[in-house]
């Protein structure tokens, strides 16, 4: 899964740790999502989308598309 998360995060000047704190997850989870090693669950994807005021598909895109 490709993600815009690193760009969105850096645009706001947040570290991975700060984003993790806002999402109530570990920094390891944020890092794994950003590097494409882990696809977030739907509830977490919604939390991320809500935090950045975007739709899920504006942040995440399947590799095949």
Check residue 9 and give left, alpha or beta (phi > 0: left; psi -120 to 50: alpha): alpha
20 binds other proteins (CB under 8 A): yes
Give CA 7 to chain center in angstroms: 10
15 binds other proteins (CB under 8 A): no
Alpha carbons 58 and 40: distance in angstroms, whole number = 15
Q: How far is the CB of 17 from other proteins (least distance, A)?
A: 10
47 binds other proteins (CB under 8 A): yes
User: Which residues contact other proteins by CB under 8 A?
Assistant: 20-21, 24-26, 28-29, 31-32, 37-38, 40-41, 43-44, 46-47
């Amino acid at each position: 899964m490709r993600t815009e998360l690193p760009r969105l995060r850096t645009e706001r000047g947040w570290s991975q740790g700060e984003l993790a704190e806002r999402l109530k997850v570990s920094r390891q989870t944020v890092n794994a999502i950003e590097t494409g090693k882990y696809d977030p669950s739907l509830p977490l994807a919604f939390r991320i989308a809500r935090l950045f005021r975007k739709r899920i598909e504006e942040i995440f895109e399947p590799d095949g598309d």
